[in-house]
Structure 1
């Protein structure tokens, strides 16, 4: 292959003044843990399986993403959150997605001393953890955690008290640190255990641990351990009641660590003074139990969520016909009686936007606000719901997922017509984003305008007819894909599909510049094409062996031409007859194993016919000291050629785009002085990772993001053809984020919904705070806090009742629930 170098290329590491916002979807992923600080009001955190941790914003019941400065997606797998009851400034978390030792990333322990504003990453490996079984670490000595694996909803796995921290791992037993996580030792007693699902300190300083093998064990020194009574079941979650020194447990006899199908459930209360465990009588209409929470300031209030029932119907949008898959039992008398506050509740569909069609499930995240017993919140597979009147006859549930963005985008399209952005995503189809700052009311639908497919794998649009789009999904009963002629607002199922077994993540589609031809590369049966909008399909000349599993791209100018880069063989294919025949035009590109295919990508430029860009993996040399990538790539990183290439002759020859150690993604948007700005996701020669922009056709580059906006690493990028500087990116489990220079507005594309419209955030779900006064009694469905005029709390009522005869005459300030407003009360 012929290559030339671009001369005088410069890469600027300074970044432009970009502002960053989440494209509003709200939720979209599994929130598997929530924790309120037991002694500090309005302080709470959630953890997600692939999108990191969030902190509660009590002023509007939204959530603040805490891990956007991370550049490693593995650290976005948050398996645990740890709080120190005596120090509200401290918060701990973990990083790690999977536990397969052949390919999992290095686990990390994350600590913050400023409530999650900044973090220190501490690796978990044989250098920092002593006594670990070498058969349970990677070849480089790293431990691995299952933030997105089996048991991720168990917990809590971190117990912290001053300098001492215990961490329950996924397959390395129990770890103990006496210096806040800087170093660890494996606790010998659990050295033969695979994992530990939960750990907890009691008020006397004793530590309790629940290994996967069953039972609860306690110690007063971390070295000598005793089993708690005869209890021997596998614990899913535990919650501590400091008033009575009790530990409450959920257990399941079948699939005991699974948030989807655990069964044979039971709830236990452990008397820690007498070291006994007793099973609690629960209602019989359940299968298993997941989450459990005891109010630390009201020992009589407990909530428990169910699992494996799957007996629901519809979503909150369906009104009276909606029935939740799972329930939440609440007791206000210490477990003597129980009420399902989900089954008796009313779900506010309007607050949920597109999530109103989803049904609650996987309720491992469950908590009572210790300062407001009416405030109960739970996580599900797609976000958070909360009630602020849990003790009412029919509690109202509100979708409190503002700020949580956890979808995994698999395709982004920004065109000159219709919405500024159309997406396809994992699990929840994708969306028509007519306003980036307001959640869409629904997901992409199928032809019946009601059904949803779930995961969508790919999205493409016609360059010269941008209102024509195609997408691929996993529902074989609805064509495995769909066609839109109104820019993604409405969709028509493909009338047929080539191969039902081809549904999967390696199922890719492209459409010609004039929208006359669709080419579809099926995962198992190879390339097919359609000239009648998916009604019929014909096989291309090449077999699945040559082309299947790779993404075709259309030439943005010539409607007859398509391309495909086979990273398994290093060959570039071209079709010049609308996908019928394919021929090798270049056989000298990088060749890699299948695990690295995602970094070997082909992009077609709208600047001119035959302009192609190729990313070819990474070739980072080993660096022990003195280079900025040493922390992430100590041994170097080699796959492919580590080149970013550019062709202007349809791939016959390429030039190196110099200045980068590697690139992953390329996009083209509205230019500043040139016709197009070019964006590249990769690493500059000095080791700086980021998103770079060129305004001079690739001669020089400027980084547009900064170290505080890395979102776990950028997996995908799209650029706006109507707004200079605007890009759309997907972080690691952080949904879709758009970045732009301040004040950027669409003033050039009049057929777009955002023409001459500045961005504006949608209102958050409203929460009504109400109270009544009859003579000296003040009552509310929410908690009541009474303060004197100096601001000191004189009464805090979780039951929502305040009797003014118990207080001196004068003026008081009344707060209802977490309302930011105070009401002036006169007590005669």
Structure 2
């Protein structure tokens, strides 16, 4: 689980999982023989750290609240010192390199003078912690030889554009953008020599995957006449073993520790591990391992891009130990369960959630399994509908057992967005869509009156990202259309009328509170209407501009709003920092911060469990957190 330091007088959120989506893992050995583990997720700015072999995790908060890409590396000579790179967001955040000497509690921006328009993409740290090499988006290298105190734009590659680097002892290996070849800079940690190509490819061969650590570099080579395979050097590229043809294709990972260098090769056929005594076939917890490291106390950690971080003592049995890095896009509470839709699939847990290992009905997938929206019937809490993007297509699906199993419904080669079940009739469902027909966009809603047996398509000329039934009209639907504003249909989607052109990412019809029923919309602020959308007033909010409200929830007269970190390219671009969860106790007139000790402020979804009662918040790259109500 993820622990946090509780501060008195603040809302106390609890991480409840699920564990998912680990991208990197690094083990830093402490002087006392213990270890500090650094891990990151593919969508998590910052990352996570642990001092108890992954039993608990602390968040690494990045030095910016904006949705930027980050790379986290540690100092093997001093495990308390870490470095973090951030990509740029024009107008709000400049790319840079940051250093922390207190395990991420504070960050110091280092003085790196980037070329105009450049952005740091990755960084490599020498194991002695003095030499750092950052790679820019333009392929240049930025070098520090004093732990980050000073930086130079050193042309280690002699005008070759670099896309990936790794230290190989005191040498530096890099791959180029132009010819996709490997080069080595001897003594890069001291007085660098001119780069030289690593001559391991024959005519007609291609480099497929490579990693380097310690004194070992391993390369997957693709050949034309069966002459490819895994090629390994254990003396920093001076000599190379003959290709292992049985280890062809796939990907290779290399890790180093006090016990020596280790190689992991994985393909669809098998997984092989060489711990220094030759390759042996092993099991693997998933098919998308991205990083691994041996632990000084014994065993290994494996970062799987989809499933999370695993530990193993024998490469036969695996335990899921981290990290809470799922990118949650939808949340719902069904009969005795909470459902979390993510970019890789659906997670499900009984309530109250007891731990970070959730069920995954239907499995998870790296590509093409994005749960876009979830909705639960108020008449039948075991009935759930969802919209899902899978394999370049979209599906609208139904579950009759609170998300345990799903019946595939409409399958279309288009995009799907929101879905909503009519609160009075569970057979009536509406969902929004968009597709191209004869180079023309068709955007609107589809409706069914018979639980999905037949669907009726209504072209509105715009997409909707939130749909809410009108409790005052059995056929009424409120439809939020982002910058197009808020629309209303009095005949369940057949026709529409514009209510306001103000931004509407989310819509809520309140059901209690002293102010009675009212309509709220969330966008760059929160607005409310007491005359069924004819006029709107702007709510009072104690927040920092700008923001984007993307979801609402309510319980016992108290309203909640989720704010997300958003980057929409355009002219002008829309860029906001997530500001966590907001709360209103006066039916939406005023809003105050309810984020408390929530470790991340980029919140994409909310759901209330009235039985506990509690509020669930789904974070981008931070899984699900729970607040007792």
TM class by shorter chain equals 0.7 to 0.9
- Cα distance in 1, alignment partners of residues 560 and 359 from structure 2: 32
More strand by share: 2
Residue in structure 1 matched with residue 125 of structure 2 by the alignment: 158
> Which residue of structure 2 aligns with residue 652 of structure 1?
534
Whose helix fraction is larger, Structure 1's or Structure 2's? Answer: 1
Q: Is contact 2:337-2:350 (8 Å) kept?
A: yes
Separation of aligned partners in 1, 2:30 and 2:560: 50
Alpha-carbon spacing, 1:49–1:605, altered in 2? closer, same or farther (3 Å): same
Query: Whole-Å Cα distance in 1 between the matches of residues 40 and 193 of structure 2?
Result: 30
Do 1:476 and 1:500's aligned partners in 2 also have CA atoms closer than 8 Å? no
Among candidates 376, 392, 412, match of residue 500 of structure 1:
412
Q: Go from structure 1 to structure 2 and tell me whether the alpha carbon gap of 1:282 and 1:294 turns closer, same or farther (over 3 Å shift).
A: farther
Question: Could you tell me which residue of structure 1 aligns to residue 289 of structure 2?
Answer: 363
Given that 1:239 and 1:249 are in contact with CA atoms closer than 8 Å, whether structure 2 keeps it comes out as: yes
Residue of structure 2 in register with 1:388 after alignment: 313
**Corresponding residue for residue 66 of structure 1:** 59
- SS of 1:188 mapped into structure 2: coil
The aligned runs of 1:381-530 (5 Å cut-off) are 381=305, 382-389=307-314, 395-402=315-322, 404-414=323-333, 418-419=335-336, 421-439=338-356, 442-445=359-362, 454-475=369-390, 480-494=395-409, 497=410, 500-502=412-414, 504=415, 506-514=416-424, 515-524=426-435, 525=442, 526-530=444-448
Per the alignment, residue 732 of structure 1 pairs with 620
Contact kept in structure 2, 1:70 and 1:713, CA below 8 Å: no
Distance 1:270 1:289, change over 3 A: same
CA–CA distance in 1 between the matches of 2:127 and 2:133? 7
Contact 1:457-1:473 at 8 Å conserved across structures: yes
Partner of 1:584: 497
Q: Please state how far the C-alpha of 1:657 moved relative to its aligned partner.
A: 0.5
Which residue of the other structure, out of 1, 24, 35, is the alignment partner of 1:42? 35
Shift of 1:72: 2.4
Q: Which residue does 2:231 correspond to in 1?
A: 267
Cα offset, 1:226, TM superposition: 2.9
Query: Which string of whole-angstrom CA distances, capped at 9 and with x for unpartnered residues, describes residues 211-261 of structure 1?
Result: 434211123566642336754776732111xxxxxx211224469xxxxxx
Label 1:703 to 1:588 Cα distance change in 2 as closer, same or farther (>3 A): closer
**Does residue 1:197 correspond to 2:102, yes or no?**
no
Secondary structure at the counterpart of residue 45 of structure 1: strand
Give the deviation of 1:479 after TM superposition: 8.5
In structure 2, what is the equivalent of residue 177 of structure 1?
144
Asked if 1:310 corresponds to 2:192, the answer is no
Q: Distance in 2 between matches of 1:277 and 1:104?
A: 48
2:464 is equivalent to residue 537 of structure 1: no
| Maintained 8 Å contact 2:134/2:143 | yes
CA deviation after TM superposition for structure 1 residue 26, in Å: 1.9
Distance verdict in 2 for CA 1:268–1:475, change over 3 Å: closer
**Structure 1 stretches lacking a partner, 5+ long:** 1-13, 138-142, 147-155, 241-246, 256-262, 312-325, 348-358, 390-394, 447-451, 591-598, 618-642, 745-828
Given the alignment of the two structures, is residue 91 of structure 1 paired with residue 82 of structure 2, yes or no? yes
Q: Show the 5 A alignment for 1:206-245.
A: 206-212=170-176, 213-219=181-187, 224-227=192-195, 230-231=198-199, 236-240=210-214
CA distance in 2: counterparts of 1:209 and 1:21, whole angstroms: 42
Whole-Å separation in 2 of the counterparts to 1:183 and 1:557: 65
Shift of 1:16: 4.4
1 CA distance for matches of 2:38 and 2:392? Answer: 41
Cα separation, 2, equivalents of 1:20 and 1:34: 27
- Alignment match, 1:53: 47
Asked whether the equivalents of residues 104 and 144 of structure 1 are also in contact (C-alpha less than 8 Å), the reply is: no
Distance 1:81 1:388 in 2: 25
1:113 alignment counterpart: 101
Residue 586 of structure 2 aligns with which residue?
696
Shift of 1:87: 1.7
Distance 1:221 1:432 in 2: 49
* 2:6 equivalent to 1:82: no
Assess if the C-alpha contact under 8 Å between 1:248 and 1:268 holds in 2.
yes
Conserved? CA contact 2:72–2:82, under 8 Å: no
| Alpha-carbon distance in 2 for matches of 1:328, 1:104 | 45
Inter-CA distance 493–377: structure 2 relative to 1 (3 Å threshold): same
Q: How far apart are the structure 2 equivalents of 1:669 and 1:69?
A: 30
- By how many angstroms is 1:78 displaced? 4.0
1:279 matches 2:241: yes
Greater C-alpha Rg = 1
How many residues get paired?
580
C-alpha distance in structure 2 between counterparts of 1:283 and 1:296, whole Å: 29
> Structure 1 472/688 Cα, relative in aligned 2: closer, same or farther at 3 Å?
closer
In structure 2, the CA distance between the partners of 1:93 and 1:279, relative to structure 1 (3 Å rule), is farther
Q: Which 5+ residue runs of structure 2 have no aligned equivalent?
A: 1-6, 202-206, 436-441, 566-576
Which of the numbers 538, 544, 553 marks the counterpart of 1:668? 553
Whether contact under 8 Å (1:198, 1:237) holds in the other structure is: no
Question: What TM-score comes out, normalization by structure 2 length?
Answer: 0.80
Q: Cα distance, 1:519 vs. partner? A: 0.8
Question: Is 2:594 aligned against 1:709?
Answer: no
Q: Return closer, same or farther for 1:477/1:507 CA change in 2, 3 Å cut-off.
A: same
- Is residue 681 of structure 1 aligned with residue 525 of structure 2? no
Cross-structure match for 2:109: 122
CA offsets per residue over residues 38-88 of structure 1, 9 Å max, x none? 8643333223221242223436x435133257662535x4434232x3322
What is the rounded CA distance, in whole Å, between the counterparts of 2:470 and 2:38 in structure 1? Answer: 47
Kindly indicate whether the alpha-carbon contact (under 8 Å) linking 1:15 and 1:704 is maintained by their aligned counterparts in 2: no
* 1:68/1:709 contact within 8 Å kept: no
- Contact 1:174–1:186, Cα closer than 8 Å, also in 2: yes
So what's the TM-score if we normalise by structure 1? 0.63
- Check conservation: 2:519, 2:528, Cα contact below 8 A: yes
